[in-house]
Chains A and B, each alone.
Chain A
Amino acid sequence: MTASDKGTKASRRAFLKGALAAGGTVAGAGAARASGDPLITETQPWAQYLGEGVDATPYGMPIRFEDDVVRRNVEWLTADTISSINFTPIHALDGTITPQGCAFERHHSGAIELRKQDYRLMINGLVDQPLVFTYDDLERFPREQHVYFCECAANTGMEWAGAQLNGAQFTHGMIHNMEYTGVPLRTLLEEAGVQTEGKWVFVEGADASSNGRSIPMDKALDDVLVAFKANGEALRKEHGYPVRLVVPGWEGNMWVKWLRRVEVTDGPVESREETSKYTDTLADGTSRKWTWEMDAKSVVTSPSPQSPIKHGPGPLVITGLAWSGRGAITQVDVSIDGGKNWQTARLAAPGQDKALARFYLDIEWDGSEMLLQSRAHDSTGYVQPTKDALREIRGENSIYHNNGIQTWWVNSDGEAENVEVS
Chain B
Amino acid sequence: MSKSLNLCGGAAFGLAGLLGTVAHAEPAASDGPYGLGREALPEEIAAWNHEVMPDGTGLPEGAGSVEEGEMLFSEKCAVCHGDFAEGVGNWPPLAGGEDTLADKDPVKTVGSYWPYLSTAWDYVHRSMPYGNAQTLSDDEVYAIVAYILYSNYLVEYDFTLTKDNFLDVEMPNADGFIVDDREETEFPTFTQEPCMSDCKDEVEITMRAAVLDVTPEEESEGEDQASAEQAQEAAAGEGAAAAEPESEPLDMALVEQGEKVFRQCQACHMVGDGAKHRVGPHLNDVMGRKLGGAEDFRYSNTIVEMGESGTTWNEETLAKLLEDPMGYIKGTKMAFGGLRKEEDIAAVTEYLKSFSQ
Contact = CB atoms under 8 A, between A and B. Distances in A.
Interface stretch (A41-49, A68-76, A223-231): A68-76
A198 interface: no
A218 to B, nearest CB: 14
Contact of A393 (B34, B114, B130, B185): B185
Interface string A2-20: 0001101101100110110
Contacts of A15: 220, 222-224
Contact of A383 (B40, B113, B116, B194): B194
B244 interface: no
Interface residues of A, number: 114
A79 B216 contact: no
A230 B22 CA distance: 43
B153 interface: no
Interface in B1-42: 27-28, 30-34, 36-40
Nearest to A210: B126
A18 B220 CA distance: 12
A295 B176 CA distance: 23
Interface string B154-187: 0000000000000000000000111111100111
A375 to B, nearest CB: 7
A189 to B, nearest CB: 9
A389 B203 contact: no
A337 interface: yes
Contact of B198 (A292, A340, A381): A340
Interface in A32-58: none
Contacts of A383: 190-192, 194
A11 to B, nearest CB: 8
Given A272-B122, A272-B127, A288-B182, 7 more contacts: A12-B224, A15-B223, A130-B39, A163-B207, A270-B119, A271-B51, A371-B203
24 contacts: A6-B213, A9-B213, A15-B222, A68-B218, A82-B131, A82-B267, A129-B30, A132-B40, A163-B212, A191-B30, A191-B37, A208-B134, A270-B53, A271-B51, A288-B182, A295-B182, A295-B190, A339-B200, A340-B200, A377-B194, A385-B186, A417-B209, A418-B210, A422-B206
Q: Which 4 A-B pairs have the closest CB atoms?
A: A191-B32, A285-B102, A338-B203, A285-B101
Interface of A: 1, 5-6, 8-9, 11-12, 15-16, 18-19, 65, 67-68, 72-76, 78-80, 82-83, 108-110, 122-125, 128-134, 137, 140-141, 161-167, 170, 187, 190-193, 202, 204, 208-210, 212, 260-261, 263, 265, 267, 269-272, 275-276, 279, 281, 283-293, 295, 305-306, 333, 337-342, 371, 375, 377, 380-385, 389, 393, 396-397, 409, 417-422
